[in-house]
């Protein structure tokens, strides 16, 4: 059995052995996968995210005034830290979903800051629903109830965070508008 497999692996096709074909295919596939992943990472940079003027004139200036951009600890969360999952398959799925945003940019639906602002509430609701459905996974990569020292928080924040933890709330339930302004027309759905 083994000798037949060995013979097949090295037996020539019209020109090459199957082994060489499989090795070359495997190496080529690894390079292609690596190139794909590198390209995905390039689209995670702040420069890429704000390369269209709708972002550079709307959400980017807001983000630069947020604690996610500048804070006492000197820790900065970039766009992809909140909007793109770290795990490979969820990241690929998010990039596929982002092609819809590129489509709307190219078709003129959100190609000006004014058009972007007009759709901003709709876009924000999509992001919020995603964050709600995955228990604010992006937030939790930095923020965790278990890591919080409630005694070092101000009294109001500690009370609200402890209550949120007990009630099983997720970050986006209370923290909409933390890195970007709330869209015009937003009504707090918690009363």
Q: Which domain holds residue 74?
A: 20-141
User: Which domain CATH number covers 71?
Assistant: 1.10.3820.10
Residue-level pLDDT at 130: 92
139 is in an annotated binding site: yes
131, two tokens:
């964050």
Dist CA 141 CA 149 (whole Å)? 17
- In terms of domains, do 70 and 103 share one? yes
Helices 88-107 and 18-42: angle between axes, nearest 10 degrees: 60
- Answer yes or no: is 44 within a domain: yes
- Residue 131, annotated as binding a ligand: no
pLDDT in tens, 56-71: 888 999 999 999 999 8
Is there a single domain that holds both residue 74 and residue 163? no
Q: How many angstroms separate the CA atoms of 125 and 112, rounded?
A: 20
What does DSSP assign to residue 182? P
- Helix, strand, coil percentages for the chain (3-state, nearest 5): 65, 0, 35
Classified as helix, coil or strand, 12 is: strand
Closest CA to 142 of 92, 90, 67: 67
Residues of the chain with pLDDT under 70: 5-21, 189-191
Task: Give the E-state strand segments of the chain in sequence order.
Answer: none
Residue 101, judged by CB atoms within 10 A of its CB (0-12, 13-18, 19+), counts as middle
Rama region for 16: left / alpha / beta (φ>0; ψ in -120 to 50; rest): beta
Q: Do the domain assignments include residue 13?
A: no
- The annotation status of 175 as a binding-site residue, yes or no, is yes
162 annotated as belonging to a binding site for a ligand? no
Confidence at residue 16, expressed as pLDDT on a 0 to 100 scale: 62
Say if residue 165 carries a ligand binding annotation. Answer: no
pLDDT of residue 9: 62
Q: Nearest-CA neighbor of 136 among 74, 100, 97, 82?
A: 82
**Do residues 161 and 99 share a domain?**
no
The pLDDT assigned to 5 comes to 66
Residues 62 and 151 in one domain: no
Is 104 known as a binding-site position? no
Q: Domain count of the chain?
A: 2
């Amino acid at each position: 059995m083994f000798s037949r497999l060995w013979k097949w692996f090295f037996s020539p096709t019209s020109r090459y052995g199957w082994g060489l074909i499989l090795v070359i295919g495997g190496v080529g596939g690894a390079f292609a996968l690596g190139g794909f992943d590198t390209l995905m990472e390039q689209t995670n940079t702040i420069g890429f995210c704000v390369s269209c003027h709708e972002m550079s004139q709307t959400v980017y200036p807001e983000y630069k005034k947020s604690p996610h951009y500048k804070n006492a600890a000197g820790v900065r969360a970039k766009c992809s830290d909140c909007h793109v999952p770290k795990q490979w398959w969820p990241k690929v799925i998010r990039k596929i979903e982002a092609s819809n945003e590129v489509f709307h940019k190219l078709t003129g639906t959100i190609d000006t800051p004014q058009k972007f602002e007009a759709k901003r509430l709709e876009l924000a609701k999509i992001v919020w629903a995603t964050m709600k459905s995955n228990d604010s996974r992006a937030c939790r990569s930095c923020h965790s109830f278990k890591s919080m020292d409630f005694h070092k928080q101000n009294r109001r924040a500690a009370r609200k965070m402890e209550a949120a933890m007990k009630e099983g709330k997720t970050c986006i339930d209370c923290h909409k508008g933390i890195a970007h302004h709330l869209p015009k027309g937003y009504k707090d759905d918690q009363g």
